[in-house]
Structure 1
Amino acid sequence: MKKSKILLGTVILGIIGLITVAADHIDAPAAAGTSADITDFYAFQAEDTDNLVFVANVQGLLSPTATSTTVFDENVLVEFNIDTDGDNVEDLVIQAIPKDGKMYFFGPIGPLSTGKNSNISTMSSIKGEVAITAYGSNAVIGTNNSGMKMFAGPRDDPFFMDFARYGEVVGGTAPGFNNPGADTFAGSNVLSIVVEVPKSLVGTSGTINTWVEAKVKQ
């Protein structure tokens, strides 16, 4: 689970360019090698300042050869959780689940249940779908009548980390990081789920907490 905090409305206008990031790669053995393995979570204000963007990257460290044959697992639900009142319980969710070459989105909507278990909100009045972009193809962008935009497909891994040097620093054999360092993730890919949402569907002012979860169908 990745968790971040982002400001909305008039507050965010003073900090354009704010981006909240959480990342790790293949450190959950039960999820490693599947699209339940969350590598990165990003939440930021869109180019259209009336919108927010949420990004979940999963199944990291894919080589170009592996990327061309890797698909989203249809048994894995990716859920963006949004807490609007500061109690660290989701008040809204955006759910994304693949089926037959498309990614289906439901919400933002009040969750049918909170916590570790989720039910897919297929009856949500706010929903959309997009064809999953194939590796090496131009991005396919979906839209719906609520003003949302959606994408799902492989992307270059955006996270920078010099793992070898990190190990040396932590192990006490190096005084600090090199500038520039060596990008461990260079040339590797992830599967991305991206949704752009009007702030009016989330809240127009104040602060939200937001986190993403991957949940396997039982």
Structure 2
Amino acid sequence: MKKSKILLGTIFVAIIGFMAIAADHIDAPATKGTTADVTDFYAFQAEDTNNLVFVANVQGLLSPTATATASFDGNVMIEFNIDTDNDNFENLVIQAIPKNGKMHFFGPYEPATTGLNSTVFEGATKSEVAITAYGTEAVIATNEGMKFFAGPRDDPFFMDFAQYGAILAGNASGFNNPGSDTFAGSNVLSIVVEVPKSMIGGSGTINTWVEAKRKQ
């Protein structure tokens, strides 16, 4: 589970470019090396400042060869959780489930239950987008002011692990600029949702996190 805090509305506008990030890259024991591994979670203000973007990347460290055959797991649901009243429980969720070459989205909606035991509310707003194939132009779908994408992308997370190791060993005092991108050339499977702020509160502060939930 990845968790971040971001701001909405006029307060958020004052810090354009702010990005909330959480990452693990196959170091979560329960999901390491599985199709449920969430490598990164990003939440940021869209180019249209009335919207927010949520990005969940899964199945990290894919080589170009592996990316060509990689696919989203139909038994794994990605859930974007949004806490609007700062009680650390989700008030709204957006759920993404792959099936038959498409990513199906539900929400945002108020869940009947919170925590790990989620269900899909069939009465929620339903959207879908064709999953973009590797090496092809991105397919983007729209519905009720929202935008959706699902498919392979170059891993955007920058980390110089060699320099990080040198710092830990006491052989370096800090990172180089720009440093070496350890993840260069590797890919992830990405799920992107752009949502109007009016659908999730419009202004103030929200907590947001993402979970991968395997069908039992």
TM-score category by the smaller chain?
A: over 0.9
Query: In structure 2, what residue type is equivalent to 1:87?
Result: D
- Between the aligned partners of 1:111 and 1:151, the Cα distance in structure 2 is 23
Residue matched to 2:137: 138
Where 1:166 maps in the other structure, the secondary structure is: helix
Q: CA offsets, 1:158-212, max 9 Å, x none?
A: 0111112212211223333233321110000000000000111101111000000
Q: Is the CA contact (8 Å cut-off) linking 1:61 and 1:185 kept in structure 2?
A: yes
Where 2:69 maps in the other structure, the secondary structure is: coil
Larger CA deviation: 54-63 vs 7-16: 7-16
Q: Is the CA contact (8 Å cut-off) linking 1:83 and 1:89 kept in structure 2?
A: yes
Q: Is the CA contact (8 Å cut-off) linking 1:93 and 1:111 kept in structure 2?
A: yes
Query: In structure 1, what residue type is equivalent to 2:200?
Result: V
Paired residues, number = 216
Q: Is the CA contact (8 Å cut-off) linking 1:57 and 1:193 kept in structure 2?
A: yes
Q: Structure 1 vs Structure 2: percent identity of aligned residues?
A: 75
Q: Given the alignment of the two structures, is residue 214 of structure 1 paired with residue 212 of structure 2, yes or no?
A: yes
- 1:123 CA drift (Å): 2.2
Q: Is the CA contact (8 Å cut-off) linking 1:32 and 1:59 kept in structure 2?
A: no
Larger CA deviation: 110-119 vs 83-92: 110-119
- 1:84 CA drift (Å): 0.3
Query: In structure 2, what residue type is equivalent to 1:43?
Result: A
Q: Is the CA contact (8 Å cut-off) linking 1:83 and 1:92 kept in structure 2?
A: yes
- Between the aligned partners of 2:126 and 2:19, the Cα distance in structure 1 is 25
Q: Given the alignment of the two structures, is residue 170 of structure 1 paired with residue 156 of structure 2, yes or no?
A: no
Residue matched to 1:41: 41
Q: 1:160 aligns with which of 133, 138, 158?
A: 158
Q: Which runs of 4+ in 1 moved over 6 A?
A: none
Residue matched to 2:147: 149
Query: In structure 1, what residue type is equivalent to 2:155?
Result: D
- Between the aligned partners of 2:178 and 2:5, the Cα distance in structure 1 is 29
Q: Is the CA contact (8 Å cut-off) linking 1:41 and 1:54 kept in structure 2?
A: yes
Query: TM-score, normalised on structure 1?
Result: 0.96
Residue matched to 1:26: 26
- 1:8 CA drift (Å): 0.8
Query: TM-score, normalised on structure 2?
Result: 0.97
- 1:111 CA drift (Å): 0.9
RMSD, aligned CA: 1.1
Structure 2: runs of 5+ lacking an equivalent: none
- Between the aligned partners of 1:159 and 1:42, the Cα distance in structure 2 is 10
Query: In structure 2, what residue type is equivalent to 1:48?
Result: D
Q: CA offsets, 1:31-88, max 9 Å, x none?
A: 1233310111111111111111000011110000000000000000100000000100
Q: CA offsets, 1:118-144, max 9 Å, x none?
A: 1112221x2200000000000000111
Where 1:68 maps in the other structure, the secondary structure is: helix
- 1:13 CA drift (Å): 1.8
Larger CA deviation: 87-96 vs 5-14: 5-14
Q: 2:189 aligns with which of 178, 188, 191?
A: 191
- 1:16 CA drift (Å): 1.6
- 1:90 CA drift (Å): 0.3
Residue matched to 1:6: 6
